[in-house]
Amino acid sequence: MTLSPSAQKVQDALAPFGLSLQVVELPASTRTAVEAAQAVGCTVGQIAKSLIFRSQQSDRPVLVIASGANRVNEKRIGELLGEPIGKADADFVRQRTGFVIGGVPPVGHLEPLATFLDADLMQFEEIWAAAGTPNAVFKLTPPELVKITGGQVIKII
């Protein structure tokens, strides 16, 4: 099966890690955590949603990979980062990551990102992450997520 260019970019970014992670494109949208959970048949909590924030002083993208069931405490992330963060708009997300909102994956970005991982994701045997488009995903384990992102595991709520 041929992947779209954005999904293939994610598959290619996963390859160097030596893990058997496979990007799949689904007919249903996986843009939201609820849609993704319905499409792959898991709980909303098992969706590893990639959220891009914008650091307010250094203007850097910040990646928070949150359990689909959780909302991010931006103040907490700002404290860990050492500067406040705010929501990133669609143009900023695309320009700095190379992906559209709703399809931002944990890997394959245009530049290195400060990355925080939701500790709540660590309780699951398997989780699902976005893979470059609003209908592409891949299944992985929480330790694999830590390995491929190098992210810091924290309580995000």
DSSP output for 3-45: PPHHHHHHHHHHGGGT-----EE-SS--SSHHHHHHHHTS-GG
Q: What is the pLDDT of residue 88?
A: 97
Q: What is the pLDDT of residue 107?
A: 98
Q: How far is CA 62 from the centre of its chain?
A: 11
Band of residue 1 on the pLDDT scale cut at 50, 70, 90: low
Mean pLDDT of 125-153: 97
Closest to 23 (Cα-Cα) out of 33, 13, 31, 32:
13
As a whole number, the mean pLDDT across the chain is 96
Q: What is the pLDDT of residue 6?
A: 96
Q: Three-state DSSP class for 138?
A: strand
Q: What is the pLDDT of residue 21?
A: 97
Tell me: the pLDDT tens digits for 55-78?
999 999 999 999 999 999 999 999
Rounded to whole angstroms, the Cα distance separating 43 from 132 reads 21
Report which residue type is found at 87: K
Q: What is the pLDDT of residue 31?
A: 86
Query: Domain with 23 in it: what CATH number?
Result: 3.90.960.10
Band of residue 149 on the pLDDT scale cut at 50, 70, 90: very high
Closest to 52 (Cα-Cα) out of 6, 104, 14, 9:
104
Domain of residue 41 covers: 5-154
What is the tally of structural domains in the chain?
Answer: 1
Q: What is the pLDDT of residue 68?
A: 96
Band of residue 49 on the pLDDT scale cut at 50, 70, 90: very high
Q: Which residue carries 């320009």 as its tokens?
A: 95
Q: What is the pLDDT of residue 29?
A: 85
Q: How far is CA 143 from CA 118, 121, 152, in A?
A: 12, 10, 12
